[in-house]
Amino acid sequence: MKHFIGILSLVLSLTLMVGCASDFVSSGSGSSRATSDSTSDSANQTMQMVNQQMAIDAANAAAQQQFNDAMAAQQLNENQHNDEFNQNGLH
């Protein structure tokens, strides 16, 4: 009878350990999935920020190019005016 109680307690202990271990593993995979989801969300946010920054950089580059074109046109206008002035002044 003592051996039966010892074996029964051993079987119950193993059952309890296996049950807890399976709960731990299943909650661990859920935790892993949550971590994976948060990592995916973080990656998506990072990509959105990168895309937003690229759009801002492109808009700034376009504005800079328009400014450069305007400055070049103004310089060309001044050069033509100076050429006309110098031609009229020499005659």
Strand, coil or helix: 34? helix
Confidence of residue 16 (pLDDT cuts 50, 70, 90): low
Q: What's residue 88's pLDDT?
A: 83
Residue carrying the six token digits 């990168």: 50
Give pLDDT tens digits for 23-71: 544 455 555 555 678 888 899 999 999 999 999 999 999 999 999 999 9
Q: Which residue has the higher pLDDT, 9 or 31?
A: 9
Decide if pLDDT at 13 tops 60.
yes
CA-CA-CA-CA dihedral for 32, 34, 36, 41, to nearest 10: -170
Query: In the prediction, which pLDDT does 65 show?
Result: 96
